């Protein structure tokens, strides 16, 4: 699968026996990321059979406890397992200081190196990129400095049309990579064969946008335009819209408006307030604006 998302936790600040605060595991084009790390993340990783060693980068949206209080425990467990590969952590300025202090006062020594990437910009910026995927911030508005993240798969190599290639004697094995890269082929006599006649298009790249705690912020729409999958917080229903504005959170209807305006393929609602005992009300409210909406739940796995 090009993209696989596992919801480890999707509820607001107070952990309960059946609900965990925010954390997600994302695999995209064979890169493996942890997004937020609320309390209990390690338990959920074990429960849903995610190998700790797969996680190469962790993205923390903001410094409210329900989004990062599980981080120091996970960092320590990595060391107990004698992790050797470096770990990259992206999050607001201050996260490095907090983590280093916890390790220092606990006289803890890690078996691997942590590389912190502290974020301060209030504009969208690319914070990680390789030949497989890019990750950029989505500036949000909450009570503390907060970012969402957009993950985009890179366009892959074209697939060889072996049947067509076998009919051209001039093409050798050493030419295959150029064809995969999209280049036309020039025969020995100077004739040019279009790449499209010798290869198949690759599948369209997948994308995922994670919008953590935020008030209704329509100016993020251009950043997340037409993503395949959008997670957007929906702490409240419209009956608590005044409280949403006061606490700088969103309602289910507001999240649906963002999804509708951005023309995304699918919306996932999460970060539900414990005030509500019937979470289907969030879905009922959202689908009046954006039909392709689902509710997050612990253990939910979405594959594209």
pLDDT 10s digits, 39-75: 999 999 999 999 888 999 999 999 999 999 999 999 9
pLDDT single digits (tens) 119-143: 999 999 999 999 999 999 999 999 9
49 and 195 share one domain: no
State mean pLDDT over 235-248: 97
The answer, yes or no, to whether residue 181 has pLDDT greater than 90, is: no
113 and 140 share one domain: yes
170 and 273 share one domain: no
Instruction: Give the integer Cα–Cα distance in Å for 237 and 115.
Output: 39
Q: Which member of 66, 184, 213, 261 is catalytic?
A: 66
Q: How many distinct structural domains can be found in the chain? A: 2
Q: What is the largest CA-CA distance in the chain?
A: 75
* CA-closest candidate to residue 5, choices 20, 23, 27, 21: 27
133 and 49 share one domain: yes
- Determine what percent of the chain is predicted with pLDDT higher than 90: 80
* Residue whose tokens read 């209080």: 69
169 and 219 share one domain: no
- Count H helices and E strands in the chain, helices first: 9, 18
188 and 229 share one domain: no
Q: What is the pLDDT of residue 188?
A: 87
Q: Please report, in angstroms and rounded to a whole number, the separation of the first and last CA atoms in the chain.
A: 6
The answer, yes or no, to whether residue 206 has pLDDT greater than 90, is: yes
194 and 101 share one domain: no
37 and 49 share one domain: yes
pLDDT single digits (tens) 65-108: 999 999 999 999 999 999 999 999 999 999 999 999 999 999 99
Is residue 278 annotated as part of the catalytic site, yes or no? no
34 and 169 share one domain: no
State mean pLDDT over 131-156: 96
211 and 231 share one domain: yes
Query: Residue 226 is part of a domain; what is its CATH number?
Result: 3.60.15.10
112 and 210 share one domain: yes
Instruction: Give the integer Cα–Cα distance in Å for 44 and 10.
Output: 12
State the pTM of this model: 0.89
The answer, yes or no, to whether residue 1 has pLDDT greater than 60, is: no
The answer, yes or no, to whether residue 146 has pLDDT greater than 70, is: yes
164 and 147 share one domain: no
Bin 226: left if φ > 0, else alpha if -120 < ψ < 50, else beta: left
Domain carrying residue 294? 3-156+202-303
Boundary-marking domain end, from 200, 233, 252: 200
Instruction: Give the integer Cα–Cα distance in Å for 233 and 181.
Output: 39
């Amino acid at each position: 699968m090009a993209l696989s998302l596992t919801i480890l936790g999707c509820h607001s600040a107070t952990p309960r026996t059946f609900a965990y605060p925010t954390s997600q595991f994302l695999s995209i084009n064979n890169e493996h990321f942890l997004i937020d790390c609320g309390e209990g993340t390690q338990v959920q990783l074990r429960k849903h059979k995610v190998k700790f060693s797969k996680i190469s980068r962790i993205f923390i949206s903001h410094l409210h406890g329900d989004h990062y209080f599980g981080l120091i425990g996970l960092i320590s467990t990595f060391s107990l397992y004698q992790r050797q590969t470096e770990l990259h952590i992206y999050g607001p300025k201050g996260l490095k200081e907090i983590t280093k202090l916890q390790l220092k006062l606990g006289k803890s020594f890690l078996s691997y190196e942590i590389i912190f990437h502290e974020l301060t910009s209030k504009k969208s910026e690319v914070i990680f990129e390789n030949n497989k995927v890019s990750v950029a911030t989505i500036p949000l508005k909450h009570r503390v400095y907060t970012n969402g993240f957009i993950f985009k798969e890179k366009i892959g190599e074209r697939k060889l049309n072996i049947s067509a290639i076998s009919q051209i004697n001039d093409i050798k094995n050493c030419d295959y990579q150029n064809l995969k890269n999209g280049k036309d082929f020039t025969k020995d006599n100077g004739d040019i064969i279009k790449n499209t006649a010798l290869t198949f298009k690759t599948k369209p790249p997948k994308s995922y946008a994670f919008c953590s705690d935020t008030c209704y912020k329509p100016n993020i729409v251009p950043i997340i335009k037409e993503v395949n999958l959008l997670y957007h917080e929906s702490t409240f229903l419209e009956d608590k819209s005044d409280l949403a504005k006061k606490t700088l959170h969103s309602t289910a209807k507001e999240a649906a408006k963002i999804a509708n305006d951005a023309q995304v393929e699918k919306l996932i609602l999460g970060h539900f307030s414990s005030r509500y005992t019937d979470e289907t009300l969030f879905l009922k409210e959202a689908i009046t604006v954006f039909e392709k909406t689902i509710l997050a739940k612990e253990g939910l796995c979405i594959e594209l």
